[in-house]
Chain A
Amino acid sequence: MFKDFEEITENDYRAIGFRAGLEIHQQLDTRQKLFCRCPAPHPPYDDFFHIEIARTLRPALSELGEIDPSILMEFKSQKQIIYKINRDTICTYELDQSPPFEINQDALDIAIYYCLKFNAKIVDEIYVCRKYHLDGSIPSGYQRTAMIGLQGFYEFKGKKIHFPEITLEEDAAREISDKYHIREYFTDRLGIPLIEIVTEPSFTSPQEVKEFAEAIRNEFLATGEVRKGSGTLRMDLNISINGSERCEIKGVDKISKIPILGYNEALRQWNLLRLRDALHTRNITPENFKATVYDLHNVLKHTFFYPIQQAIKNNGEVYCIKLPNWAGFLKWPTQRYTTFAQEISERVKVIACLTDYPNIIVSDIIDNTISREEIDKTKKFIGATSNDGFVIVWGPPEDVQIAIEEIKNRAYEATIGVPSESRRALPEGTTAFERVLPGPQRMYPDTDLPHINISKSRVERLRLKLKESYIDRVKWCEAFGFPPSAIKRICTSDRYLLIKELVEKFHIHPNFIVRIFLEFLPFLEKRGLKTKVLTNEQIRTIFAMYSKGEILRTGVFTAIEFAMRGECDKIPSHLHPATHDELEQAYNQAVEFLSQNRIYHNEKRAEILTGYIMRMLRGRVVGKTVKEFVAQKLEKENGSN
């Protein structure tokens, strides 16, 4: 038995031969896009657009004269693609109406930097290639991509995780709907440079993949050359178990979802292998596989089942595919809460574009569809016995013909095992068919761009810029006694190097650092002040004054606010520690203020005086000192009375 998600352990995954690899796509933080000079917008994206254009894409040959199966599959679905375009961030390049500009050198530098960071060998001569995508996610039908590094690795939990390839590519458009033969995209993130890192299948449990993804994400954040926020890091998971083919789960946008997605995919593959064995015991093998197609138009033309009724009304067709000896197999469980019927239904949805559910009826699950009488009539018409299974499909004639082929294909594939395919991650942690797995045939060298020689001096220049790794940063934080809860944020902070300098050079206490950088600056941000305007040099000056005693700890907060308002020159004159005379003067003013006002609670007099003085000498005096000063004064006054 396959254990529940809550109970499954690493050993259980090992027992079924779970193997996973990871592809990480991380957007790079550049001002411009990869192959044009349009601004690269930051998320979150809005849904505003000026223009809509429609495209239909068709396949092209690879350099070796072949067509990739995934491209043919997409072409079969005959989609019309609608792009929603905001002209502030899209130009004619993205629409494939003008050739590309030279590759963004900043993005290339960052990609080389990460190759060095992950110990990869930099490619001597870079060739930009076209990777064909007929799903419409790129208006030109291909994504420009280039191999930058080979054979890198990252040490993780005592083992080397190898990265055979590190590539730089442009981001694709964002799908917003896919209905019938129309698919819609927003083009906001189109063309933004991203780095893709592919690992070998080195992981033996989904939990391990998750931890590794977190480690790599932290490494990216620690260097500060990548974009932060939702959707800027997307992952694909490659999963297989003993006896199965590799399946790719695409579009995983949250690291926390990896365990459940990995579990469901392992469960699906395990169940499909069991289904194959069960089929073989009934003598349904690839050699003996049979599926017969029947036209059910006359049998179901008076049905009350609305979807079929509508299909017939719109001159559509209804067909039945009889699967001899398949009784019970169509409701075979696959993932949590899904059955084999869903595998068929997804194929029909994606390839035949019959997108309205239910798009098929299967003999094992007929509830709430056609009537019992219609089932009996259907069985009689196709000559099905209680051992046989069948699938009914309906819709426009061209789509139904494609659907029939796909139903037969999917049932046939069940006799072989697990088909190799790309699957889409769904929010509930399951996956759905997206397309057959693409191969190398979809690559073609770009004819618009020259190759790029990477000079030794360029590599060495970038090697010198290498920053310490996330793990080393964590070690440093631990050595200096930073609170554990703050370490991750400190290590991935853009100001990490400054923080290190403050601690090591000015001996600032880590707790004070945490107070300023993780609490006070976000607090100011919430109040509407932009902390980005605060330069490292300004912060350095403020802390230098603090360490020399020119301003107090409390004055640092005020000084930062001054600096953010562009009033740095006020710091020495307005924030030097208050002298005894100034304190005396402030006290007298406070007493005068109180004399002009009525106090209802005389016992709070000391508190009110302290508050008044603190406001007057804000940032220049410590609360404790004022409190003691006021207490002494009041004591004297009471004594003299």
Chain B
Amino acid sequence: MEATEYKGYKGKALSLLKSFGVSVWSEVKIKANGNEIVGIILPRSEIADDSHIVVKLRSGYNIGISVEKITSIEFIERVEHHQVLQKQKFLSTPINPMLN
């Protein structure tokens, strides 16, 4: 369970997430270095260091925030994410009928 809730996080970053009671796919408000950043905590690469947490900003960009700069993380809500493509009917291409 912990593996999916904190996917890829370890060491300092994992402790930080736990201390503020947030996990991946949580929308949060982070205070870091005097700034306020709103975004969704994303899973982190297993081979990456333990000094950053990855956040998807509202504009869609991903950034890594240094754990040392974070002073607080406020939970907003849990975000639904879909790993599988929902069935959608697309029009076939007149130019390339093989593309459906």
Chains A and B belong together in one complex:
yes
Judge if A271 is at the interface, Cβ distance under 8 Å.
no
Known: A64-B82, A65-B84. A129 touches B61 (CB 8 A): yes
Count, chain B residues at interface, CB 8 A = 37
Q: Is the CB of B60 within 8 A of A440?
A: yes
Q: Which B residues, 2 to 24, have Cβ-Cβ distances below 8 Å to chain A?
A: none
Q: Which B residues, 55 to 84, have Cβ-Cβ distances below 8 Å to chain A?
A: 56-66, 69, 79-84
Q: C-beta contact mask, A40-77 vs B, less than 8 Å → 1, else 0?
A: 00000000000000001010011111110000000110
Least distance between A133 CB and chain B CB atoms (Å): 13
Q: Please pick, from A61, A131, A442, the residue contacting B85 in the complex, using a CB distance under 8 A.
A: A61
Q: Is the CB of A440 within 8 A of B69?
A: no
Segment of A118-126, A248-256, A277-285, A505-513 in the binding face:
A118-126
Q: Is the CB of A147 within 8 A of B94?
A: no
Least distance between B97 CB and chain A CB atoms (Å): 11
Q: Is the CB of B79 within 8 A of A78?
A: no
Q: Is the CB of A123 within 8 A of B56?
A: no
Q: Is the interface of A mostly helix, strand, loop or mixed?
A: mixed
Least distance between B82 CB and chain A CB atoms (Å): 3
For B91, list chain A residues within 8 Å (CB).
Answer: 76, 78, 398
Least distance between A59 CB and chain B CB atoms (Å): 8
Docked Cα-Cα span, A150 to B61, in Å, equals 11
Docked Cα-Cα span, A451 to B48, in Å, equals 9
For B69, list chain A residues within 8 Å (CB).
Answer: 124
Docked Cα-Cα span, A612 to B99, in Å, equals 81
Judge if A207 is at the interface, Cβ distance under 8 Å.
no
Docked Cα-Cα span, A65 to B52, in Å, equals 24
Q: Which B residues, 28 to 76, have Cβ-Cβ distances below 8 Å to chain A?
A: 33, 35, 37, 40, 42, 45, 48, 52, 54, 56-66, 69
For A398, list chain B residues within 8 Å (CB).
Answer: 91, 94
Least distance between B28 CB and chain A CB atoms (Å): 15
Docked Cα-Cα span, A66 to B79, in Å, equals 12
Judge if A445 is at the interface, Cβ distance under 8 Å.
yes
Which of A145, A147, A439, A441 has the most chain B CB atoms inside 10 A of its CB? A147
Q: C-beta contact mask, A445-462 vs B, less than 8 Å → 1, else 0?
A: 100000101000000000
Known: A65-B83, A123-B63. A151 touches B35 (CB 8 A): yes
Judge if A167 is at the interface, Cβ distance under 8 Å.
yes
Least distance between A634 CB and chain B CB atoms (Å): 80
Q: Is the interface of B mostly helix, strand, loop or mixed?
A: loop
Q: Is the CB of A451 within 8 A of B61?
A: no
Least distance between B38 CB and chain A CB atoms (Å): 11
Judge if A556 is at the interface, Cβ distance under 8 Å.
no
Least distance between A320 CB and chain B CB atoms (Å): 23
For A181, list chain B residues within 8 Å (CB).
Answer: 94-95
Q: Is the CB of A129 within 8 A of B94?
A: no
Judge if A80 is at the interface, Cβ distance under 8 Å.
yes
Docked Cα-Cα span, A453 to B99, in Å, equals 40
Judge if A127 is at the interface, Cβ distance under 8 Å.
yes
Docked Cα-Cα span, A56 to B99, in Å, equals 9
Known: A56-B93, A63-B42, A78-B93. A150 touches B35 (CB 8 A): yes
Q: Is the CB of B63 within 8 A of A64?
A: no
Q: Is the CB of A78 within 8 A of B95?
A: yes
Residue of B nearest to A445 (CB): B62
Q: Is the CB of A63 within 8 A of B56?
A: yes
Q: C-beta contact mask, A106-137 vs B, less than 8 Å → 1, else 0?
A: 00000000000000010111110101000000
Q: Is the CB of B90 within 8 A of A75?
A: yes
Residue of A nearest to B88 (CB): A67
Q: Enumerate the 9 nearest inter-chain pairs by beta-carbon distance, A residue then B residue, closest first.
A: A125-B64, A65-B82, A443-B60, A440-B60, A127-B62, A147-B61, A124-B66, A123-B63, A64-B81
25 contacts between A and B (CB under 8 A): A56-B96, A61-B85, A62-B60, A63-B42, A65-B82, A65-B85, A66-B82, A121-B33, A123-B63, A125-B52, A125-B65, A126-B64, A127-B62, A129-B61, A147-B57, A150-B63, A165-B59, A181-B95, A439-B60, A440-B57, A443-B59, A443-B60, A445-B42, A451-B45, A453-B64
Listed in ascending order, the chain A residues whose CB lies under 8 Å from chain B are: 56, 58, 61-67, 75-76, 78, 80, 121, 123-127, 129, 131, 145-147, 150-151, 165, 167, 181, 398, 439-443, 445, 451, 453
